[in-house]
Structure 1
Amino acid sequence: MTDDVAVLGAGMHPWGKWGRGFVEYGAVAARAALADAGLDWRDIGSIVGADTVRGGYPGYVAGATFAKALGWQGARVTSVYAACASGAQAVSTARAQILAGLADVVLVVGADAAPKGFFRPADGDRPDDPDWLRFRVLGATNPVYFGLFARRRMAEHGDTPEDFAQVKVKNAAMGSLNPYARYRSRVTAEEVAASAVVADPLRLLDICATSDGGAALVLSSMEFARRNAPPDPVRIRAVSTVTPRYPQTVLDLPDIATDSAAVVAPASDPFRASIARSAYEEAGIGPEDLSLAEVYDLSTALELQWYEDLGLCAGGEGAKLLREGATGPGGRIPVNTSGGLASFGEAVPAQAIAQVCELTWQLRGAAGERQIPGARVGISANQGLFGHGSAVIAVR
């Protein structure tokens, strides 16, 4: 298709708590993606950086920061911010530049150095900051929202803490096979149940950590790929970066709501469903065509919701799909073959890029022990603060 762009390279810096700056993580990931593409940094016509708010001024101009770290060479530069969807917005920007003919080959980079523990509100008074309002006015930290969302699913659909635990068990098993994951140990449902309660009914092992890490992609026009890459590269066919439609109950508190406004919203979120629908329509496919999915599992309960919002099952049947084994290795539609955020933790501007890295390796047949046989179509799904939705569909 004429609107496809090729994924020539994918690279990552391992997730963890390394105690170094985000620039180092991004540069390592960028060099790995360039090596994977068989290209030199001087071959790149444009660089798009996904911003981090934790890196001071360099974090706000991440594209230029990474360009400087790699060595000024005159490339076009762009920096984007969309909270947890920053990486997908960066991919979308790179794709638009390629399709517009502004650059033949674009490097996309995101990296973060996250603080220890769960994210806290910014210092000082920031009444225009949705996170600050949510934390200070409602007292609703991220784990509180996740717990409320889990409770709503339990009330509406009969999900149980045991169902949530099985999401962690599944993802930890896949993460144990991923050399870039921070947590590489399998866990049992009993270990999840024995971990500390954070926001009832969710326990520590139900909620993703905060991490350091980086991810990068080299994207190109199909014409450039035909001249410079092996045949049949992985291609990005659709990128959805939609906003909600009014009215939606999820935005009843627009200045406070974040990833899942479970205080006021039903568990079924039309915004998340619209993220996937937009991507499917652009790609000309449906959920029945998918080989795998990478979804944004901030909590185990939220992964179950993504099953429904991606159309992998009917509303309210996410736990049933999990129990049937459909979303595990060998199942009908494996989800989070990378190990997900359960195994990585949040390195905010990098995580949507990391999802596309996993799709790329799976579609190439290069995912090692976690490979899904015959993978041909994959989707990533992610949602950022304040109406940033994203999904990427990759094909081969």
Structure 2
Amino acid sequence: MAPGEPGARDIAVLGAGMHPWGKWGRGFVEYGTVAAREALADAGVEWRDVQSVVGADTVRGGYPGYVAGATFAQALGWQGARVTSVYAACASGAQAIATARAQILAGLADVVLVVGADAAPKGFFAPAGGDRPDDPDWLRFRVLGATNPTYFALYARRRMALHGDTPHDFALVKVKNAAAGALNPRARYRKAVTAEEVAGSAVVADPLRLLDICATSDGGAALVLSSMEFARRHGATDPVRIRAVSTVTPTYPKAVLDLPDIATDSAAVVAPAPHTFRASIARAAYEEAGIGPEDLSLAEVYDLSTALELEWYEDLGLCGAGEGAKLVREGITALGGRIPVNTSGGLASFGEAVPAQAIAQVCELTWQLRGTAGGRQVPGARVGITANQGLFGHGSAVVAVR
């Protein structure tokens, strides 16, 4: 296989593990360690044989959270592995996967353990790490008082103005994801809901209601990644493979985080941008993997709110601009539909455990591509993509194939 051909830079996913999401009242190290041990057992790899540990940081975890790679290596027992710690807000897990992949492809390690875990506070996330006057996300909290649900609601209002979406369309996303989450033993919320129940929940930031917005959660996820050569020696003849990892930044002069342009561009109320930061994330992943949206069996996307999931449909190329609501209305993105999205139940069913969630998305792809996802299994799944976005221009998407 030529170096530039799709598949030439594949790495194997030998193991996947997860600590169930919830509010458990314990430390993030415990959640990550449980997930790591499960991933190692799933891979059939001994901890002493792991050559590198990449930890996705959680800055709310104090100093141990800032050096998560070493924190998890210590918890599992020092054995000489190289360690790396990665922070990219909500994209931390995907950046950790990208780091592990680079080490494997560079020949620095044959087997790498990637771990992320969080013990999230109740309520709104607040900016961490001190004053950052150059960070538009810090500014929206400090200057506008715009917490995340307010930010999500601005996106929802924009969709309503541009595309005619309705609160009922947003509610259908929650109904779909809750139905998948009810089938997932790792999910925090395992109860189906109706659109009427979504509409009857408390208004948080109009037009979004409580059931439109994801919670904050405790949880952990881990992957054992390896070179294809090691996988073959290990007896894994047809493992799930990571074919692409996109960690692109926005393109100047578009606003750093693809803000809705509500204050800066009056044309935004009548015409959407030609492409968004999120679309750039997906495009880079497709190009590296040598695939297109028509090749996908499923997708795991970052549904901080129900309205935001509809944006991802369009940015991933599953439909045209403004057609996201049509997909969910017709059941195309539900289990059993043409292109299921968030078969895990998504953040709607899990909540945010920030450094773990992009890793958890790849865990779901792994189980789906192996055909071991139980009642939420997508028949014949062969190609999946994850999509995620972190603060201050951190984008991420992972393509996995079988």
TM-score by length of 2: 0.94
CA distance in 2, matches of 1:321, 1:135: 33
- Give how far 1:263 is off: 5.3
The equivalent residue for 1:394 is 400
The equivalent residue for 2:73 is 67
The equivalent residue for 2:353 is 347
Match of 1:33 among 34, 39, 46: 39
- Give how far 1:134 is off: 1.6
- Give how far 1:260 is off: 6.1
Give, as a single letter, the amino acid of the residue that structure 1 aligns with 2:356: A
Matched, 1:359 2:365: yes
Give, as a single letter, the amino acid of the residue that structure 2 aligns with 1:193: A
Partner-residue secondary structure (3-state), 1:49: strand
The equivalent residue for 1:319 is 325
The equivalent residue for 1:12 is 18
When the two chains are superposed, the root-mean-square deviation of aligned CA atoms in Å is: 1.5
- Give how far 1:121 is off: 3.6
Matched, 1:282 2:285: no
Does the CA-based 8 Å contact 1:258-1:384 persist in structure 2? Answer: no
Q: Which runs of structure 2 are paired with 1:51-62 in the superposition (5 Å)?
A: 51-62=57-68
CA distance in 2, matches of 1:392, 1:169: 26
The equivalent residue for 1:225 is 231
Runs of 5+ in structure 2 lacking a partner?
Answer: 1-6
- Give how far 1:229 is off: 3.3
The equivalent residue for 1:116 is 122
Q: Which runs of structure 2 are paired with 1:264-283 in the superposition (5 Å)?
A: 264=264, 266=268, 270-283=276-289
Closer/same/farther in 2, CA of residues 366 and 278 from structure 1, 3 Å limit: same
The equivalent residue for 1:371 is 377
Give, as a single letter, the amino acid of the residue that structure 2 aligns with 1:329: L
Matched, 1:194 2:205: no
Closer/same/farther in 2, CA of residues 230 and 64 from structure 1, 3 Å limit: same
Match of 2:151 among 133, 141, 145: 145
Closer/same/farther in 2, CA of residues 121 and 78 from structure 1, 3 Å limit: closer
The equivalent residue for 1:127 is 133
Which range moves more in the overlay, 209-218 or 228-237? Answer: 228-237
Matched, 1:91 2:97: yes
Runs of 5+ in structure 1 lacking a partner?
Answer: none
CA distance in 2, matches of 1:75, 1:175: 36
CA distance in 1, matches of 2:370, 2:279: 28
Partner-residue secondary structure (3-state), 1:66: helix
- Give how far 1:127 is off: 3.4
Does the CA-based 8 Å contact 1:53-1:60 persist in structure 2? Answer: yes
TM-score by length of 1: 0.96
- Give how far 1:231 is off: 1.8
Does the CA-based 8 Å contact 1:7-1:235 persist in structure 2? Answer: yes
The equivalent residue for 2:162 is 156
Partner-residue secondary structure (3-state), 2:161: helix
Closer/same/farther in 2, CA of residues 319 and 332 from structure 1, 3 Å limit: same
Partner-residue secondary structure (3-state), 1:375: coil
Size of the alignment, in residue pairs? Answer: 390
Which range moves more in the overlay, 131-140 or 163-172? Answer: 131-140
- Give how far 1:115 is off: 0.3
CA distance in 1, matches of 2:59, 2:327: 37
- Give how far 1:131 is off: 3.8
Does the CA-based 8 Å contact 1:13-1:180 persist in structure 2? Answer: yes
The equivalent residue for 1:45 is 51
Partner-residue secondary structure (3-state), 1:74: coil
- Give how far 1:132 is off: 3.3
Does the CA-based 8 Å contact 2:21-2:218 persist in structure 1? Answer: yes
Closer/same/farther in 2, CA of residues 51 and 263 from structure 1, 3 Å limit: farther
Give, as a single letter, the amino acid of the residue that structure 1 aligns with 2:398: V
- Give how far 1:382 is off: 0.2
Give, as a single letter, the amino acid of the residue that structure 1 aligns with 2:284: S
Closer/same/farther in 2, CA of residues 93 and 246 from structure 1, 3 Å limit: same
Does the CA-based 8 Å contact 2:299-2:340 persist in structure 1? Answer: yes
The equivalent residue for 1:240 is 246
Give, as a single letter, the amino acid of the residue that structure 2 aligns with 1:99: L
Give, as a single letter, the amino acid of the residue that structure 2 aligns with 1:203: R
Give, as a single letter, the amino acid of the residue that structure 2 aligns with 1:383: Q
Does the CA-based 8 Å contact 2:59-2:129 persist in structure 1? Answer: no
The equivalent residue for 2:4 is none
Does the CA-based 8 Å contact 1:50-1:350 persist in structure 2? Answer: yes
Closer/same/farther in 2, CA of residues 277 and 124 from structure 1, 3 Å limit: closer
Partner-residue secondary structure (3-state), 2:60: coil
Match of 1:173 among 171, 179, 190: 179
- Give how far 1:117 is off: 1.1
What are the superposed Cα offsets for residues 227-271 of structure 1, whole Å, 9 maximum, x if unpaired?
Answer: 1033210000000000011111xx1xx4xx577666557565521
CA distance in 2, matches of 1:82, 1:188: 35
Does the CA-based 8 Å contact 1:149-1:262 persist in structure 2? Answer: no
CA distance in 1, matches of 2:392, 2:277: 11
